A and B are shown apart, each in its own frame.
Chain A
Amino acid sequence: MEELASLLNGFYVVFSPFNFMLMLVGILLGVIIGVLPGLGGANGVAILLPLTFSMSPTSAIIMLSCIYWGALFGGAITSILFNIPGEPWSVATTFDGYPMAQQGKADEALTGAFTSSFVGALVAVVMITFLAPLVAKFALKFGPAEFFAVQFLTFASFIGMGKGSAFKTIASMCLGFALAAVGLDTVTGQLRMTFGITDLLTGFKFLTAVIGLFGIGEILTSMESGLAFSGTHAKLRLNAVLETWKKLPKYWVTSIRSCLVGCWMGVTPGGATPASFMSYGLAKRFSKNGARFGKGEIEGVIAPETAAHAAGTSALLPMLTLGIPGSPTAAVLLGGLLIWGLQPGPLLFVEQKEFVWGLIASMYLGNLVGLVIVLTCVPLFAAILRIPFSIIAPVIMVICAVGAYTINNAMFDVWMMVVFGMVAYAFGKLSYPLPPFVLALVLGDMAESSFRQAMLLSQGSVTIFWSNGLVGTIMTLGVVLLLLPVIGWALGKLRALKPV
C-alpha cells in the first residue's frame, strides 16, 4: 500500500501548527465567500491568491483548497435560508432546501446538506487517493461526443419530472436555451443575438440569472403574500444535528448514486453544477418519495449536495494529473501552481510527492474541520430566519444587488437581475417551472458546443454518438430516461384497455 504510506506522510505535513491554522482560516474565509452570492469560489481564490506567494507551495495549496471547501459548504446556506444560491452548484439545493426552511425545518435541511456534502467529498478524496492514475486515464476517453452524451443525460433526467404540464416544462427549457445562445458562438466565432448591444457580448451570465430568478423572485412572491416570511416560526432546536443524523442513513441509495454521479462528472470534467442537477433529477426519478420532491423533501437536499461536493473535489484530479481544470476555481488554482513553480501534469504525482500528498491529506482534514465548523453554526444560521421579513428583505435585496454587481463590476447585471426577478414572478403566476429554464441556461451553451464539435468530427453523422461502448451506453441511458414517462404512460393505457 504505497498510497497509504504517502498519505500518512501527507498528514504529517498538514499537521504542522502553521498549516493547521491556515486550514482554519481558509475554511472560514471560504464559508463567507460561499455565502455571498456572486463572489464565488473562483473569485475568492483569485483575490486571495497573492497572499500565498510568500508561503511554501504546500502551505499555499492547503489554504487555497480549504477556501474552496469552505465555499462549497457555504453555498448551501443562503440557498436553504433565502432561496438564493450562493454558488451555481447550490441551485438544485434550493428546490427542496428552501421549502424545508419555510416549514421551519431549516436546521434539518442545513444539517442534511452539510453532512451529505462531507460524505460526497470524502468518497471523492478516497477515490483520488487510491485510483488517481486509473481515473485520469478514464477522463482522456472523453471527447466531444462523450461530453454531449453526458449533457444529454442530464437533460433527459430532468424532462418529465415536473408535475405540471410537459409543454410548460419544454417551453421553459427552450427559453433557457434561447438565452444561453446569446453572445459569442464558439464554433463559428460569430456573435449571435446581441443586436449590437455591447453588454450582451458576454451572454446572459448564469449567476445574474440565478440571483434574480431565485432571490428577487422569491422576495416579490413573499411581498405579495402579505409580508409574512413563513420561516419566522422556526424553532431553535439545539439537538437538531443529532436528530437529523438519525434520519440520514435510510437515504443511502440516493447517497451512493449521488457520489457516483458527482465523482464521474468531476473527473470528466463536467463540473459540480451539472452534477448537482443530474443527481437531483435522478433522485427524483428513482426515489419512492419522488412525487413529493420540491415540497421540502430532505432527500432532495442530500442528492444535489452530495454530488456537488463529490464533483467539486474530484475536479481537482484532472487539474493535477492532466493540467486541465475541472472547474473555474480549479483554473485559478492551476495559475497558482505555476507561480509556486510547479508544473501541473502527468508527472506532478512523481516529481512533487510532498505537495500532492499534502494536498490530499488536507482534503480529508479540511472537509472534516469544515463540517465541524458549519455544523456548530447550524442553530445560528437557522436563527437568522427569526428576523422579521421587513428587516431581512431589504438586506437580501442589497446582498443580491452587490452579488450581481460583483460578477462583472457592471450595473447592467444588476438591472438584468431585476428583470430576471420579474420573470420568475411571472413564471410562478403562470405555473411555469423554473428548474428546466435554469438548467438549459447553465448547460445549453456547453451542450451545443459539444454537439457541434462532435458533428464536425463525424462530418455530420449522428452515429458518432454510438461509435464506442462508452458514449453509446450513456446516450442509450439518456434516451431511455427521456422516454420513460412516455413508456409508463403507454403501459398505463394498455392496462386500462384490458378488461379487468
Chain B
Amino acid sequence: MTGHASQFSAVKALGLATGALAAVAFATPAAAQAWQPTKAVTFVIPAGTGGGADQMARFIQGVVTKHNLMPHPMVVINKAGGAGAEGFLDMKASPRDPHKIVITLSNLFTTPLATGTPFSWKDLTPVAMLALDQFILWVNAEKPSKDKPYMTAKEYLDAVKAGADKQFKMGGTGSKQEDQIITVAIERLLGGKKMTYVPFAGGGAVAVQLVGNHVDSTVNNPIEAVSQWKAGSLRPLCLFDDKRSTYTAKVTSTMAWSDIPTCKESGLNVEYLMLRGVFTTGGVTPQQVNFYVELFKKVMATDDWKRFMEEGAFKQTFMVGDAYRKWVETNDKLHYDLMKEAGFLATN
C-alpha cells in the first residue's frame, strides 16, 4: 500500500504549499457545541451517472453506510442539467441548509463562465478537498501501426505537427470544460497546427471511442481509462502534472502509474489538475462545516478509500478551512484566465 504513505505527502498543488495549513486544520479540536445532522443528508452530484464525480460520491455514500459513520442516511442525487448548473443552482437556492452537500469537479468554475449561468463557488461554503484528479494523454496502443506505435508524447506531437491542420482528433468530455481547456493548451505548443476537438457525453465513452479508433487521442482521467490500459488497448503518453504519480505498484505487467512521464519531461509544458472537493450551502455555521470535515476524515481513514484512491491514481491532497478556500480562489482566477485565452467566455 503506497496510498497510506503518500496520504499527506502530495500536498503541493498548482504551486501552493499548504502542508502546514492543513496540519493546523487537523489539530483543531472538535467544536464545543458539536452539530449533527437531524435528518437525511442530500449529496448532490452536478454530473451524470457513471462519470468520475458520480463514482466518487457513490463510493463515499457506500463507505459511510458500510461503516455507519452518520446517524442518518446519505442520499445521492444527480443534478447534471446545464453542465452541472442544475446542481449548483439547487445548492444556491437553499442557503443555510446544512443537510445538503455537493461534490465538485471543474464545472464549478467553467460552467458559469461558459454559459453565463448565475452562480459561483462564493455562493457555497467550502468543506474539504478530497483529492485532485489527474489528466493523462492517451493514444490507441496500435496507432499509427501495430509494429511501430507512438511510444512517447514527443512522437505523437511530432506526428500532429507534421500532419494536416485539424487532421488529428482529440476526444473529450463536454464542451468548453477541462478536456477542451487542456486541448487548447496543447494546441498552443503545436506551432500553429490545430486539432479537432470532439465532445462526447462521458469520460467512459471517450475512452471507448479511442479504443475503437474513432479519435486519435484523449486526455482521460486515470480511472476512466485504466481498464483499457490494463487490457493493452490504450497507451498513456504523459501526465499533465509537475511531478510523476506516487503510485509505484504495477498496473500492467510492465508499468506503474509512476512510470508515466510528466508532459513537461516530454517537452509539452501543460499542467492541469481537477478538484474533487465537497461544499455545503452558503451561510452555515462553523460547527456544521466541522461535522462534515470530521466525517470525511473518517471516510479517508478507511482501507476502502485508500484502495479507491490507488485504483484511480488520484493525487491525495486533503485540504480544509482557509487553505482550501484559498486554493479554490486561486483556481477560480486560473480558470477565468484559461477560459478567456481560449475564447470560451459566455458572450451574454
A202 close to B66 (CB less than 8 A): no
Total inter-chain residue pairs, C-beta < 8 Å: 157
B115 close to A343 (CB less than 8 A): no
A456 close to B55 (CB less than 8 A): no
At the interface, yes or no: B163 with Cβ under 8 Å from chain A? no
- Chain B residues with CB below 8 A from A13, complex form: none
B228 close to A346 (CB less than 8 A): yes
- Chain A residues with CB below 8 A from B77, complex form: 409
CA distance A343 to B310 in the complex (A): 12
B49 close to A328 (CB less than 8 A): yes
How far is the CB of B63 from the nearest CB of chain A, in Å? 8
CA distance A186 to B180 in the complex (A): 12
- Chain B residues with CB below 8 A from A184, complex form: 81-83, 85, 115
B209 close to A335 (CB less than 8 A): no
B204 close to A325 (CB less than 8 A): yes
- Chain B residues with CB below 8 A from A449, complex form: 201
| Chain A, residue nearest B209 (CB) | A143
Residue count of chain A within 8 Å CB distance of chain B:
52
At the interface, yes or no: A341 with Cβ under 8 Å from chain B? yes
Q: Among residues 281 to 311 in chain B, which have CB atoms less than 8 Å away from a CB atom of chain A?
A: 304, 307-308, 311
A183 close to B81 (CB less than 8 A): yes
| Chain A, residue nearest B344 (CB) | A189
- Chain A residues with CB below 8 A from B86, complex form: 198, 201-202
Residue count of chain B within 8 Å CB distance of chain A:
61
B196 close to A459 (CB less than 8 A): yes
How far is the CB of B184 from the nearest CB of chain A, in Å? 13
Q: Among residues 169 to 203 in chain B, which have CB atoms less than 8 Å away from a CB atom of chain A?
A: 169, 174-177, 180, 196-201
At the interface, yes or no: A463 with Cβ under 8 Å from chain B? no
B198 close to A457 (CB less than 8 A): yes
- Chain B residues with CB below 8 A from A53, complex form: 62, 65-66
At the interface, yes or no: B214 with Cβ under 8 Å from chain A? yes
| Chain B, residue nearest A52 (CB) | B62
| Chain A, residue nearest B83 (CB) | A184
B227 close to A324 (CB less than 8 A): no
- Chain A residues with CB below 8 A from B307, complex form: 341
| Chain A, residue nearest B66 (CB) | A53
- Chain A residues with CB below 8 A from B133, complex form: none
* Stretch of A42-50, A119-127, A372-380 that contacts chain B: A42-50
CA distance A69 to B49 in the complex (A): 20
A338 close to B55 (CB less than 8 A): yes
At the interface, yes or no: A238 with Cβ under 8 Å from chain B? no
CA distance A449 to B202 in the complex (A): 13
At the interface, yes or no: A239 with Cβ under 8 Å from chain B? no
CA distance A453 to B199 in the complex (A): 7
At the interface, yes or no: A162 with Cβ under 8 Å from chain B? no
Partner of B82, one of A202, A332, A336: A202
Q: Among residues 154 to 171 in chain B, which have CB atoms less than 8 Å away from a CB atom of chain A?
A: 166, 169
| Binary A-proximity of B79-114 (CB < 8 A = 1, otherwise 0) | 111110110010000000000000000000000001
A191 close to B212 (CB less than 8 A): no
Partner of A201, one of B114, B117, B226, B308: B117
CA distance A139 to B214 in the complex (A): 12
Partner of B211, one of A140, A194, A203, A328: A140
CA distance A190 to B207 in the complex (A): 24
At the interface, yes or no: B230 with Cβ under 8 Å from chain A? yes
Partner of A324, one of B59, B65, B204, B214: B204
Contact A335 to B59, CB < 8 A, known contacts A187-B199, A328-B49, A453-B198: yes
At the interface, yes or no: A431 with Cβ under 8 Å from chain B? no
How far is the CB of B312 from the nearest CB of chain A, in Å? 9
A50 close to B115 (CB less than 8 A): no
| Chain A, residue nearest B224 (CB) | A323
Interface of A toward B, CB cutoff 8 Å: 42, 46, 49-50, 53-54, 139-144, 183-191, 194, 198, 201-203, 322-325, 328, 331-332, 334-336, 338-339, 341, 343-348, 408-409, 449, 453, 456-457, 459
CB-defined A-B contacts under 8 Å, sample of 21: A184-B83, A189-B83, A189-B114, A191-B116, A198-B85, A201-B86, A201-B89, A202-B86, A322-B211, A324-B208, A328-B49, A332-B50, A335-B54, A339-B58, A343-B227, A344-B227, A345-B228, A346-B228, A347-B230, A449-B201, A456-B196
